[in-house]
Amino acid sequence: MLDRPRLYWQCRRGMLELDILLQGFLDTKFDALAVAEQHAFVELLDYPDAILLEYMLGRMIPTDPRIANVVTQIRTPVES
C-alpha cells in the first residue's frame, strides 16, 4: 500500500522544476500506473535532485529500464 500523502511530501524538492513535474505527475497520472510502475516512481524519488533534473530535462537517461520508463511518462506533457 503506497502512502499517498507521504509521496506528496516526497515530491517536494529543492528545485521548482522538480516540484512542478513530480507533483503534477502524482496528481494527474500516478493513479493510472501499473503497480510495478508506481513502485518505480517511488524509487525514482530517492534519487538526488541534481540527477533528477538531468533526467527530467532529457539530458540523461536512467540505465534502469523501469526508472527510464517512468521518467518518459513524467516527461510526456499533460494537456492543460
Partner 1 sequence: MHGVNHMTIPIRKFDTLVIGAGGGGLRAALQLAQADANVAVVSKVFPTRSHTVAAQGGMNAALANVLPDNWHWHMYDTVKGGDFLGDQDAIEYMCHAAPRLVVELEHIGVPFSRLDNGKIYQRPFGGQSQNFGGAQAARTCAAADRTGHAILHALYQQNIRAKTHFFDEYFAIDLIKDDEGYILGALVLEIETGEPLIIQAKTTLIATGGAGQLFRTNTNARINTGDGMAMALRAGIPVQDMEFFQFHPTGIAGKGMLISEAVRGEGGYLVNGNGERFMERYAPNAKDLASRDVVSRAVATEIHEGRGCGVNKDHILLKVDHLGSEVIRKRLPGIRDMVMTFLNIDPIDAPIPIFPTAHYTMGGIPTNRFGQVVVPQQQGAEEPVPGLYAVGECACVSVHGANRLGGNSLLDIVVFGRAAGNHIIEYLKENRYSRVASQCSIDAAVAHLARWDQRGSPMGSGASSETVDGLRNELKAIMDHYCGVFRTEDVLRAGLDKMLKIEQRLQNVYLRDHSKVFNTARIEAFELENLVELALATVASALARRESRGAHMRMDHPQRDDVKWLKHSLFFKGGMLDYKPVRMKPLTVEGFSPKPRVY
Does position 8 interact with partner 1 (CB under 8 A)? The reply is yes
**Rounded to the nearest 5 degrees, what angle is found at the Cα of 19, between the Cα atoms of 1 and 51?**
90
Does position 61 interact with partner 1 (CB under 8 A)? The reply is no
Residues that bind partner 1 (rule: CB under 8 A) add up to a total of 25
In Å, how far are 33, 42 from 70, measured between CA atoms? 9, 10
Q: How far apart are CA 70 and CA 7, in angstroms?
A: 15
Candidate residues 27, 49, 65, 72; the one interacting with partner 1 per rule CB under 8 A: 49
The residues of the shown chain that bind partner 1, judged by CB under 8 A, are: 3, 5-6, 8-9, 12-21, 23, 48-50, 56-59, 75, 77
